[in-house]
Amino acid sequence: MPKPIVLIAEELSPATVDALGDEFEIRSVNGADREKLLPALAEANAVLIRSATKMDKEAIYAAPNLKVIARAGVGLDNVDTPAATEHGVMVVNAPTSNVVSAAELAVAHILSLSRNIADAHHSMKQGEWKRSKYTGVELYEKTIGIVGLGRIGTLVANRLAGFDVKLIGFDPYVTQTRAEQIGVELVELDELMKRSDYITIHIPKTAETTGMISDEQFAMAKSNLMIVNCSRGGIIDEDALYTALKNNTIAGAGLDVYNSEPPEGSKLLELDNILLTPHLGASTGEAQEKAGISVARSVRLALAGDLVPDAVNVAGGLIDASVKPGIPLAEKLGQLLAGIAHASMTAVEVEIRGDIAEHDVTVLKLAALKGIFQNLVTDQVSYVNAPLIAEARGVDVKLTTDTQSEEYRNVTILRATLGDGSTVSVAGTVTGPKLHQKIVKINGYDVEVPMDENLVVMVYDDRPGIVAVYGSAFADADVNIAAMQIARKSEGGKALSVVTVDSPISASILDKIQAKIKADYIRSITIQES
């Protein structure tokens, strides 16, 4: 019997090949060379890549025997995951391979800033001896604010605790109990900005987190504040950071990530009180070796037909055909649920109603959890690790089914209990021969709007003229409304508006609308395709 063919498309650590073992025929190709890659894929059962090989639809469909694409790293920007799923190809990566390296780099930035190590080193190289110029500060008894208490943020907290510091944290999706377990006092972002001597960022970049630390936040900070971002570029407004550093509003900053990389022409390069590194978060020999070994093991499991812990999609052949259309819907509903939640979740219920409930719909629960956590944690979220993330965050998860559905043939309902005791809920369905995804209920309000990329959800007292107010605000901001629906439970009570727009809405516009219509809440939610 011939051995399965594993194609290695980029240079990987020798440990990767060792981890594969001798059960496979190993072939190599330069994945960046399309003319060589495409023919080499024709017989491949698995392909191992890093960042240079583009596994797009053309490459995937050039590989009729392909079972798994393995990315030896965290990112999947170079893999067309929807095309792979459609073709029944599993996609795996190494989501935890760099977490230690990333956490250690953040700590290294903090220490280097504290003791002026980079500048002092450069001075020594110039033949200078300026001890007094590079007098630093101790971490001892300082207050360190951690923005984001996911896996990397938790590792940073663990490592900094040894310096006898006071740890405070901001993460709206982490419970007080979880924060206490890792020795962090949970606070709001404004309080963290005011109290911290150091701040380190460990959150994903989303529409809500982009520019979340800007002029307003820096104005609250201590003059001795040093801020570090080794997470995602753009979470700190770079223009605001430049101004704060230039005017000595804060003392220093360390960046490993940027709005655009490399940051050519950035004004930050002109400053002396900033430490800059070229996106080194995963650039350690250990991280790269871990990534290679991790994906090699995943390839072995995938080709053996076993459960793959780091799979980021679901192989098509394992799920009933009637259930498949519900997978992207459930994932998007999860994103919507997370978007309207105003506090951390303590429990999530996934209810599936209709004829698809006759089949195994466990994958819909996994998809919903993936959607919920997709923009809430820095970790790569997969169908397999999503329940583990929920467990780590103290979130109880329940799946219920009912073959009866009164209004729609099939409906997926997500409910969440929040830390303050309140609940939020969303529901959706897939309709028609073209499998259109629709939102049919939000927090008990009946709606029927398409599941679009950019959504605005608002609740306010039902009264005349509200639509004109927010419609005018959108028009003034050159934001086009694609669809809209207003729902209410009773005349003169609360009304809920769901608006789909062609582009994301900035926080400043939402704040203006909320003030004008006196909304109970208003949320802008960007739904991402998996």
Point out the residues that are catalytic: 232, 261, 279
Distance CA 141, CA 148 (A): 21
DSSP 3-state of 176: helix
Closest to 282 measured CA to CA, from 152, 405, 377, 369: 152
Closest to 416 measured CA to CA, from 328, 496, 337: 337
Contact indicator for 218, 241 with CB cutoff of 8 Å: yes
Distance between the two ends of the chain, CA-based, in angstroms? 37
Lookup: tokens for 204: 């994903």
Distance CA 64, CA 84 (A): 11
Contact indicator for 41, 62 with CB cutoff of 8 Å: yes
Q: Which helix (H) or strand (E) element contains residue 228?
A: strand 226-229
Distance CA 43, CA 78 (A): 21
Ramachandran angles phi, psi of 512, nearest 5°: -65, -45
Distance CA 203, CA 209 (A): 8
Q: CB count, 10 Å around CB of 443?
A: 17
Distance CA 402, CA 501 (A): 34
- The helix-helix angle for 507-517 and 466-476 (nearest 10°) equals 160
Lookup: tokens for 440: 């049919």
Distance CA 397, CA 340 (A): 18
Distance CA 280, CA 108 (A): 11
